[in-house]
Amino acid sequence: MKRIETEPPARRKTGKSVKETKKWSAAELAAGYISHEELLAPMRGDAGGDLPILGHARAVVIVTFCAKTTPANLSRTLSELGVDGISFQFCIFEGVKKAGYRMGIEDIPNGPNTKLITVVGAIENAARASEVESPGRLG
């Protein structure tokens, strides 16, 4: 008589356990790091996207980069994501500046109950730096 395998395929051993997933070393994480300049280079105001304001898409990229998350988490708060408000606020400020736009750092919400989409709304109307700075101004 032939023996019939009764164990479902999902229970058979595959050779790898779930706990054996690859953990990145500090060097691998550092090698995969992307700076603000590299991330925002194609979205700069002088790179062909001649918009007078930052815009929604650029704002989403900056906010999700600074929160170290994806656009799927825009409805989450800073505390839910474990994001420090002060360093997040500074990251947003620098991201807007490096994209070629300007706004006050105090205009960027950073409270623990602040949702990421609220921050997107706060920065998406940042004016282009050339329109904020007057041409006759020195230094």
Residue pLDDT, tens place only, 68-126: 999 999 999 999 999 999 999 999 999 999 988 999 999 999 999 999 999 999 999 99
Distance CA 104, CA 15 (A): 55
Intra-chain end-to-end CA distance of the chain, in Å: 92
User: What is the rounded average pLDDT of the residues 41-46?
Assistant: 57
* Domain boundaries defined on the chain: 34-129
Supply angle C-alpha 100, 72, 36, rounded to 5: 25
Collapsing DSSP to helix, strand or coil, 77 comes out as strand
Q: Angle at CA 19, nearest 5°, toward 33 and 77?
A: 50
At 138, is the pLDDT very low, low, confident or very high (cuts 50, 70, 90)? very low
User: Between residues 83 and 47, which one has the greater pLDDT?
Assistant: 83
**How does residue 49 score in pLDDT terms, banded at 50, 70 and 90?**
low
* Mean residue pLDDT across the chain: 78
